[in-house]
Amino acid sequence: MIPLLDRRAVRAIDADAAGRLSVPGLTLMENAGRGAFETIRAAFPDALARVVVVGGPGQNGGDGWVVARHLVCAGWKPCAVLVGDRAKLRGDALINFQALQSLGVDFYAVQNGEFSELDGALSRASLVVDALFGTGLDRAIGGSYAAVVERINACRVPVIALDLPSGIDADTGAVLGVAVRAKLTITFAAHKRGLHQYPGAAHAGELHCVGIGVPAPETADVGLMEARDVSAWIPARKHDAHKGDAGHVLVVAGSPGRTGAALLSGLGALRSGAGLCTILGRGEVRAALDAKVIELMTAELPEDAAAGVTRAIEFADDKTSAVVGPGLGLDEDARKLALGLAIELPLPTVLDADALSALGQDCGALRGAAGPRVLTPHPGEAGRLLGISSAEVQADRYAAAMRIAVKTGAVVVLKGARTIIAEPGGGMRVCPTGTPAMAVAGTGDVLAGVIAALLGQARAFDAASAAVYVHGLAGELAARGDSGLLASELAQHVPDAWVRCRHRA
């Protein structure tokens, strides 16, 4: 996995360099700026005639001045724009700014709300380098700085951000007032958490990480998953395997008019390697399912909730894992059934959709569950579990996912672009796979089945993580553009996604 750092961990790298390693800050700034210059030159070889470096008075600005100096040394004529008071330049940033001035680089300043020189420079720019703010920014951008960001965003040339786009929170990916929209972000030393959650990911564009000459952590509490991780968590099937070895998934799902959710969960389970899958449907649901299934098996649950819980637990006797919730319904009996099984089912179980709605803020009761639990909320469901709005969930998805994991003692899959998987012990993983085409009914039902299939092969955190990665990759393989994908088509590509993971490992 690729470690994703918060601003505290980034500061620790700098402190370690200055203390234990005795590497001067000026050296770190030089390495960062030179690495950024080399990346820019490789990515935009034909757009270097008039690079405009827009920097603030802090360390991020210093990185920008190093980029500009290397452009001069390579024969180009950049210009530098300092936003803020020159008297506030300090330390390494001041040294590099003075060096740039000594080379005769065109210099402009933005002070007291005067933007004419900046506007002129941007109108002539072939490329813009954003070096206003780095990882230390933790409050909304306002005043002249906000106006500069808006002008950068109005440019019709590529924008390259140094470390992260100015205005993006390094920890959460939130926009702090306004934020630069970059075509390329060159981040230093290690990837930052905020670059891998939206809206930060959208503002960052393409990402490239540049070393600064000191070691970065090899592990972190949050990691970006890779295909080789999936292959390590879920071993390939043995050559002499039979269906009994592959696990039997129990799906408690479906209600009148919503049997498709149950079918998609079962299909996800089989496509991800389960040997057998049985869907338990209440009353008339079972008859409706029988008319639709081929590879899946069905059985009937009583309409009465208490009797349904008892019957489902009996069915669980020889099963490997379970899914509870997709399309189950929100009537009183359905809610009682979901709640009863959430606590009492003695299997590793995925709780999805209507099961999450039934739990609501009482989800802390899951700490007494009879087996491991994986919760798969979308932001709205996550908000209901925590008693907050979906907007509050989205404002800091890392914190929301971990809060639910700690509250419930369960593994949590917070769905959405760059899905986060959290375990109560403190670890989190981010999934880089997926496509906007997956924003369609039923894809979450497929995911629940994929997770359940893997719960019989690995611990819950690894199973959920691998399932999310493979599910997203299957969506990429199945999609034909950014819309029009059907959930059943995604399920059909799950085996192809597994092959890709094995080959990439």
| Region 352-381 average pLDDT | 97
In the chain, DSSP finds a helix count (H) and a strand count (E) of 20, 19
- C-alpha span between 336 and 331 (Å, rounded): 9
Residue 283 pLDDT > 90, yes or no? Answer: no
The domains of the chain, with CATH numbers, are 2-218 (3.40.50.10260), 227-504 (3.40.1190.20)
468 contacts 239 by C-beta, under 8 angstroms: no
Span 22-54, pLDDT tens digits:
999 999 999 999 999 999 999 999 999 999 999
**Rounded CA gap, 451 and 272, in Å?**
8
Residue-level pLDDT at 308: 95
* Residue matched to tokens 């920097």: 55
Helix-strand-coil split of the chain, %, nearest 5: 45, 15, 35
Tell me the C-alpha distance between 8 and 11, whole Å: 5
- Distance (Å, whole) CA 504 – CA 301: 43
Residue 180: per-residue pLDDT:
98
* pLDDT tens digits along 99-119: 999 999 999 999 888 899 999
Question: What is the C-alpha separation between 250 and 273, in angstroms, rounded?
Answer: 14
Say which amino acid occupies 231: S
Torsion of CA 291, 292, 293, 299, to 10 degrees: -50
Stretch 320-330: mean pLDDT: 96
N-terminal to C-terminal alpha carbon distance within the chain: 12
Check: pTM over 0.85? Answer yes or no: yes
- Checking if the pLDDT of 294 tops 90, the result is no
Check residue 205 and give its pLDDT: 98
pLDDT grade, residue 122 (50/70/90)? very high
How confident is the prediction for the chain on average, in pLDDT? 95
Q: Write down the pLDDT at residue 131.
A: 98
Percent of the chain with pLDDT over 90: 91
Asked if 314 contacts 336 with a C-beta cutoff of 8 angstroms, the reply is no
**What pLDDT shows up at residue 505?**
64
Kindly report, residue by residue over 46-101, the tens digit of the pLDDT: 999 999 999 999 999 999 999 999 999 999 999 999 998 888 899 999 999 999 99
